[in-house]
Chains A and B, each alone.
Chain A
Amino acid sequence: MIGQAPERLDPMVPRPHRIHDVRQETSDTFTLELKSLDADVAHDSFAPGQFNMLYAFGVGEAAISIAGDPGRRGVFVHTIRAVGAVTRALARMEGGETVGVRGPFGRGWPVDEAAGRDVVLVAGGIGIAPLRSLVYGLLAHRERYGRISIAYGARTPGDVLFATELDEWRNRGGIEVAVSVDRATESWHGHVGVVTTLLRRFSFDPPETIAMICGPEIMTRYVAGELIARDVVPGAIHVALERNMKCGVGLCGHCQLGPAFVCREGPVFPFDSVERWLGIEEL
């Protein structure tokens, strides 16, 4: 690599990573495992909920949350839906090819605050990806937490991600897992409907519960509303927000929500700190 340290630490310059593994998850979603080409892999640790900027050579960059096990040092796992120019370019890549990585950036899930409490996780669509790294973080010390529940909503049964892991978490992780789809197929015997309805199945002690939500913003607001109606403390509800991120460090101005830079102060926020802004259209 040209430009060894200290330039290497410039947060604006991607560091080359090799694609170690590619896994097609669903028709439009895939997982990349990236390993640093740099001998010094000390950078490659992260907190669940953080994101990287992934660079497809000559095409551009996209902010992608980290979906891997935080206990696995030196590897970034990203589960990506191919929807834009950059993610489509990443989807065409194969094992052994190189991806540029800047990050990890942002403030992740409040894992420490969850100790000793019931934990409710709610995901919509690709929002399950940043919660996957959180689940690995929780399972590493399962005894520290009370009841853990996951509600996950996908569009169709074919869009359900991490099905094997969901079973594992349910069967061996001591986690209550409920999955719902918007549109069922004949072979689907599970729940159909919006993810908020799954919350009614879970037993948790609302005042002692911490909740973490990642999905479309409208889902996030409804789920938070439902949890508050069940007496979960608004400040104990944490939501991951999506805004256009270009730099990842609060310098480019794109990701502002009210006075917050989502890339830096988020992407995870206590719901009560952003509720007002989320309620204003086009803020």
Chain B
Amino acid sequence: MQLSALVEEGPAAFVVQREALAALPAVLRARGYLVVGPVVREGAVVLEELRSLEDLPRGWADDQAPGAYRLRRREDGALFGFAVGPQSPKCWFHPADALVFRARRSRAGTEIAPNVEAPPKLALFGARACDLAAIAVQDRVLREGPAVDSIYDSRRRDCFVVAVNCTEPARTCFCVSTGTGPCATAGFDLALTELIDEVGHRFIVTVGSPAGRRILAELHARPAGTSDVESAHAAHARAASEMKRAIDPVEARGLLARNAESPVWEEIADRCLACGNCTMVCPTCFCTTVDDVADLTGDHAERWRRWDSCFTFQFSHLNSGVVRAGTSAQYRHWLTHKLSGWNEQFGQSGCVGCGRCITWCPVGIDLTEELVRIREREDRPARPEIHA
């Protein structure tokens, strides 16, 4: 929902001063939530438990480019003056390692017990619009059938989301073109826009759910005035206009379906290291494998589910051979699935425009550029060389 629509409906936009927001993590914790938000760790913004607002990357900004990520200081004391880091909410909802079952073998027989440990009730603090879109994508894949991933479902259930609208996107962002940002429109309980100007350091808050309204009632908030709302709008519009990268998701779907044999895949493979970073940082990549382990007695075994990447040989391994052994085939599979096949499978694109795969690619492969290259080569097929 747009800010303006909420304002028209009534007092749906509020102002919370920077000092008053400090109460929010404690309010959420008091309701039993494990509050997870951005913190600075080893030179990057990652998602960890947030004990107080002091844990946020206050006064930090990031510079992102293909294959480059650097934090730098900013002078205004902004709490959310950076874009997305390498981690996304999938690290919490679809954990990289999860116990599936424990098994025990004895004279009495074999017992296989599913892991029914209750996961923490999560409150995401500071989730960006692209991340909310990614959660919706993973919901469709892992929660909405035909099969339901019980690990994901149990972690997603009852979660609370405090979104933060982006006012300073990274140079690798392209969420405007995918229709998923920079402003959160759904999938949140509360959404914040951080404003720092002559009026002061404050947050314009919109309410996305009854639960959000109840939490907001515990903060010191006042209805937002027209100028506050206009300032927030201006910040969103500025963020959108600053975004230079773009894809056309509708065109990409058909383009990749038609171009499995484009020469561009081999050209990408000349640069791609098949490291799998893009699949790890992608907030929608959901593929997993399992590790079966046993102790030294051989009578106790466990199955662990772990993130997997389509850039490995094991991913497509059959006893008769590896289906996708070449890097070009692996990259083609990843990008074609993400932007094309995903539509067939789940009725939507698998890309939310967060730009993580561009930033965290060690050689800076940029899917927005590769799509252009594939289209150009389709329009102007290489002429066969004529040998004298």
Contacts and interface: CB of A to CB of B under 8 A. Distances in A.
Contacts of B326: 282
Contacts of B329: 281-283
Contacts of A15: 112
A282 B105 CA distance: 41
B55 interface: no
Interface in A205-263: 216, 242-244, 246-247, 249-254, 256, 258-259, 261
B115 to A, nearest CB: 9
A252 B287 contact: yes
A58 B103 contact: yes
B294 A58 contact: yes
Given A58-B292, A259-B344, A249 B105 contact: no
A246 B114 contact: no
A259 B260 CA distance: 13
Interface footprint category on B:
35 or more
B186 interface: no
A98 B290 CA distance: 20
B174 to A, nearest CB: 24
Contacts of B320: 216, 242
Given A58-B293, A282-B329, A249 B341 contact: no
A13 interface: yes
Given A12-B150, A84-B319, A98 B308 contact: no
A282 B325 contact: yes
Interface in A37-88: 37, 55, 57-61, 83-84
A146 B381 CA distance: 50
A18 B350 CA distance: 42
A253 B298 contact: no
Contact of A264 (B146, B286, B318, B325): B146
- Majority secondary structure, B binding face: mixed
A2 B112 contact: yes
A216 B328 CA distance: 24
B146 A256 contact: no
Contact of A251 (B149, B317, B328): B149
Contacts of B308: 252-254
Contacts of B149: 251
A261 B293 CA distance: 27
Contacts of A256: 333, 337, 341
B289 interface: yes
Nearest to B113: A2
- Majority secondary structure, A binding face: loop
B292 A60 contact: yes
Given A83-B319, A100-B112, A283-B260, A57 B105 contact: yes
A247 B323 CA distance: 18
A143 B290 CA distance: 45
Interface in B279-294: 286-290, 292-294
Interface in B310-344: 310, 315-320, 323-326, 328-329, 333, 337, 340-341, 343-344
Interface stretch (A3-11, A168-176, A177-185): A3-11
B103 A282 contact: no
Contacts of B150: 10, 12
B109 interface: yes
A269 B343 CA distance: 20
A85 to B, nearest CB: 10
Nearest to B297: A58
A244 B101 CA distance: 21
Given A7-B116, A37-B109, A98-B109, A252 B289 contact: yes
Interface in B254-278: 260-261
A244 B114 contact: no
Which of B113, B116, B150, B292: most chain A CB closer than 10 A? B292
A244 B261 contact: no
Which of A243, A253, A254: most chain B CB closer than 10 A? A253
B100 interface: yes
A258 B341 contact: yes
Contacts of B325: 282
B388 interface: no
A249 B146 contact: yes
A157 interface: no
B30 interface: no
B219 interface: no
Interface string B175-195: 000000000000000000000
A100 B110 contact: yes
B146 A13 contact: no
B317 A244 contact: yes
Contacts of B101: 12-14
A16 interface: yes
Given A57-B103, A61-B292, A1 B114 contact: no
Contacts of B290: 60-61, 246
Contacts of A264: 146-147
A14 to B, nearest CB: 5
B93 to A, nearest CB: 14
B292 A59 contact: yes
Contacts of B343: 259
Given A55-B292, A244-B323, A249-B146, 19 more contacts: A1-B111, A3-B114, A7-B114, A12-B101, A12-B150, A14-B101, A57-B105, A58-B103, A61-B292, A98-B110, A244-B317, A247-B288, A253-B308, A254-B316, A256-B333, A259-B344, A282-B325, A282-B328, A283-B329
17 contacts: A7-B116, A13-B114, A55-B292, A57-B105, A57-B110, A58-B292, A58-B301, A98-B105, A243-B318, A243-B323, A244-B318, A250-B146, A251-B288, A253-B286, A254-B287, A254-B316, A281-B329
The 4 closest A-B pairs by CB, nearest first: A58-B294, A253-B287, A282-B329, A259-B344
